[in-house]
Amino acid sequence: MTTMRPRLDEFPCGRTRRRTFLADVGMGFTGLALGDMLRRETLASEAGEKLVHSREPHFTPKAKRVIWIFLSGGVSHLETFDPKPALNQYAGKSYDETKLPNPQKSPLYLERSRSVVGFERELMSTIFPLQIGYERYGRSDTQVSDWLPHLAQCVDDISIVRSMYTTDNDHNAEFQMHHGRHSLDEKQPVIGSWVHYGLGTLNQSLPQFVFLGQYRDTRVKANYAPDYLGPEHSGIELSLDPDNPLPYARRGRGILRREQQNEFEFISQLNRLSAVEYPEDEQLRARIQSYELAFRMQMAVPDALNLKRETAETEALYGIDEEHTSIYGRRLLAARRLSERGVRFTLVYLSDYGEWDSHANLKKFHARSCRRVDKPIAGLLHDLKRRGLMDDTIVACCTEFGRTPAVEYGKFNRAATGRDHHPHAFSVWLAGAGIKRGYVHGATDELGFHAVEQPHYVTDIHATVLHLLGIDPRRLDVPGRKRLEIDYGTPIYDIMT
């Protein structure tokens, strides 16, 4: 017979259960008789089973896992996937001097932008010509920037969404892309944490949500923060250092594996007994799971991240043999190895923080950054395809916003060689399980200013990924937590097979 345990909220006004009180004053694990210890261990075991959050998909999924590539700083859609010849035609003219409607006077301008930098950003209105050419590729005849020659060869395997927009006009838009809220609003769990929360694990020896990348600005951690879902749904940061892939879970010198296993088992037993007393303690729940996972990961993670097991041909495919692509190639190859071993959501931070933020010298810096990611990303797509992993893996490549059609010129930038932040329009692309191949969805206006055809807020990308994983986001609601309609997003069915 199952014993019904009372809920914490059944003890109002701070009153405490008798068992909890006795445990707190010294009659817990160390003070009880052996018989009661064994009885409580049984209860703890039952409680422990409930601590493992494992759910089945809400409906038949098309995908099992996600590789989420993020490019920080704001990639110019105008110089990558959304060519606008009108920028060359009207270069040097103001918006009012063209024959086109002034996009800064459109109602969409205020609807889709909220300033957070203490002042309204200067209005840039002198049109800046395209800094690179475009060619058409593949059976889909899709235009791709000349800065992306390798990725252009994969255009028949991806769906490009040219009609994205966000609302934060500063770099908090990076975190908005992951959790869906403006920086002035209440935060939400990130997309990786929702996947972690909603689905069971595919591999008990690896984390479900992994972060691969390097950064100096600790705000980057917000991209894999679980918020109110609790720390057990946080992204786990892994290192590509072959000597220390698990900096915080490495066995100390002189400690045998069996000794550490016994220590972890003892700590786990203590924690599970405490879980009986504090069933609502999410920190304790996360601690239990982290100890168990940390021990298992000590064997599984070094093997998964051992890139030396790959052939020279595979390393060359990702550009690991070339200096300018080596770092990012290693991250994406590691993402493939983790994914094929069952990691549900791998966030690959494929840039330095703010790397794509080309307020000046856009031609120089975007060309450099494109060169760093082009071959590695194309290599990942080729590798997934030849291994059959595209059949159950989603690849999403995102940034936080686009760049202005106008040149940036003002007190912060006198060079007039770059573009400012642009939340009103940008491009992302997806590939893999359940995604149409060689497809372009949505459109911006003639200047690339506003997303006008089939516009999508950032949570529509979340909804699309969750849908392909078989998850209905409305069925993930946490009691006591109010979500807004915009948090759920709407799947982009047009790009799905």
Give pLDDT tens digits for 10-29: 444 444 454 454 444 443 43
Q: Which residues are CB-neighbours of 471 under 8 A, at least 6 positions away?
A: 57, 58, 61, 194, 195, 198, 199
Query: Is pLDDT of 89 > 60?
Result: yes
pLDDT of residue 231: 87
**Looking at residue 24, what DSSP letter applies?**
I
Phi, psi of 430 (to 5 degrees): -130, 155
Is the Cβ–Cβ distance between 165 and 456 less than 8 Å?
A: yes
* Rounded-to-integer distance, Cα 419 and Cα 405, Å: 7
Window from 196-210, 330-344, 393-407, 481-495 with minimum mean pLDDT: 196-210
* Rounded-to-integer distance, Cα 40 and Cα 20, Å: 13
Which of 158-162, 181-185, 235-239 ranks highest by mean pLDDT? 158-162
Window from 18-27, 108-117, 344-353, 366-375 with minimum mean pLDDT: 18-27
The amino acid sitting at 324 is H
Nearest Cα residue to 149 out of 334, 307, 394, 371: 371
pLDDT of residue 243: 75
Pairing mode, strands 134-137 and 142-145: antiparallel
Window from 14-23, 86-95, 107-116, 304-313 with minimum mean pLDDT: 14-23
Query: Is pLDDT of 249 > 80?
Result: no
pLDDT in tens, 355-390: 999 999 999 999 999 999 999 999 999 999 999 999
* Rounded-to-integer distance, Cα 208 and Cα 234, Å: 9
Nearest Cα residue to 275 out of 20, 54, 26, 30: 20
Nearest Cα residue to 155 out of 72, 66, 81, 69: 81
* Stretch 60-69: mean pLDDT: 98
pLDDT of residue 51: 38
Query: Is pLDDT of 151 > 90?
Result: yes
Query: Can you tell me which residue has the tokens 């994205």?
Result: 164
pLDDT of residue 7: 46
pLDDT of residue 380: 98
Q: At what angle do helices 326-340 and 362-386 cross, to 10 degrees?
A: 30
Number of C-beta neighbours around residue 56 at 10 A? 10
* Rounded-to-integer distance, Cα 226 and Cα 282, Å: 12
Q: In the predicted model, what is the mean pLDDT of the chain?
A: 85
Percent of residues, the chain, with pLDDT higher than 70: 77
Write out the two tokens for 27. 């009659």
Is the Cβ–Cβ distance between 148 and 398 less than 8 Å?
A: no
pLDDT in tens, 438-487: 999 999 999 999 999 999 999 999 999 999 999 999 999 898 898 999 99
Report residue 458 CA to chain centroid gap. 12
Write out the two tokens for 455. 């516009």
Provide the b/e sequence for 29-51 (b: ≥16 CB within 10 Å). Answer: beebeeeeeeebbeebeebbeeb
Bigger pLDDT: 249 vs 183: 183
pLDDT in tens, 252-279: 666 666 665 676 666 666 656 655 565 6
Phi, psi of 411 (to 5 degrees): -65, -20
Per-residue pLDDT band at 232 (split at 50, 70, 90): confident
Per-residue pLDDT band at 280 (split at 50, 70, 90): low
Is the Cβ–Cβ distance between 342 and 202 less than 8 Å?
A: yes
Window from 38-42, 241-245, 446-450, 455-459 with minimum mean pLDDT: 38-42
